[in-house]
């Protein structure tokens, strides 16, 4: 059974929903899944000053925080992060930046894929995913983008790099299909490489 770590950061819940959809798709494809959030680095007073942020933090308190051990456990990993000025959120970067010891030992050289979200359709979706591709190359990861391998990708904006959601839009069946297609492709590649 292929082991997939789905590692996400979410302020208001968009990337959490994306990660949950991916987890369902991975389980349906026969993978063992760890759904993990990265640690919050914003001060508690800042989080608590915004009702939506505070509510989401409380609603997802039960989800385990990702650790380097989770990344070692996994045969593949899927990263989902909101965009911050065209790059991954600082919370995700803080987690990634703490993986230096694993990188040095070659323990991150596995199949990997990336998803993101932005407030607007052109708010840095592709640049965020591509910036994480740079990191994955340093890890020696095998980048597994969705490309145009499933018709659902065209129906949700045609982003071949990785699924990108615009905050506030619905999680339609087409969206779920696109996230599912990307996740299944990652599981499939990881399974073939593990054989």
Rounded to two decimals, what is the model's pTM?
Answer: 0.96
pLDDT of residue 195: 78
Residue 58 tokens, joined: 């409380």
Q: How many CB atoms lie within 10 A of CB 169?
A: 12
In tens, the pLDDT along 150-193 reads: 999 988 888 999 999 999 899 999 999 999 999 999 999 999 99
**Residue 100 pLDDT greater than 90, yes or no:** yes
Q: Cβ(145)–Cβ(162) under 8 Å?
A: yes
Determine the Cα–Cα distance for residues 15 and 25; give it in Å rounded to an integer.
Answer: 15
Place of tokens 């018709």: 151
Domain of 54 in residue numbering reads as 3-194
Confidence of residue 60 (pLDDT cuts 50, 70, 90): very high
CATH number at residue 125: 3.40.50.360
Three-class SS state of 86? coil
Report the domain count for the chain.
1
Q: Chain-centre distance of CA 82, in angstroms?
A: 9
Determine the Cα–Cα distance for residues 157 and 61; give it in Å rounded to an integer.
Answer: 32
In tens, the pLDDT along 141-155 reads: 999 999 999 999 988
């Amino acid at each position: 059974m292929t082991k997939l770590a789905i590692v996400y950061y979410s302020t208001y819940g968009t990337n959490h929903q994306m990660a949950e959809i991916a987890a369902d798709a991975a389980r349906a494809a026969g993978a063992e899944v760890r759904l993990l959030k990265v640690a919050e680095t914003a001060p508690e007073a800042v989080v608590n000053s915004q009702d939506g942020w505070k509510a989401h933090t409380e609603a997802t308190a039960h989800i385990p925080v990702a650790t380097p051990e989770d990344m070692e456990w996994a045969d593949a990993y899927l990263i989902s992060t909101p965009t911050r000025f065209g790059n991954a959120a600082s919370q995700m970067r803080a987690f990634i930046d703490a993986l230096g010891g694993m990188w040095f030992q070659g323990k991150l050289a596995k199949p990997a894929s990336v998803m993101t979200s932005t407030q607007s359709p052109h708010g840095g979706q592709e640049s965020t995913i591509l910036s994480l591709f740079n990191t994955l190359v340093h890890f020696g990861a095998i980048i597994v983008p969705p490309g145009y391998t499933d018709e659902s990708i065209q129906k949700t904006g045609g982003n071949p790099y990785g699924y990108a959601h615009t905050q506030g839009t619905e999680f339609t069946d087409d969206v779920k299909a696109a996230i599912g297609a990307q996740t299944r492709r990652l599981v499939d590649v990881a399974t073939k490489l593990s054989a």
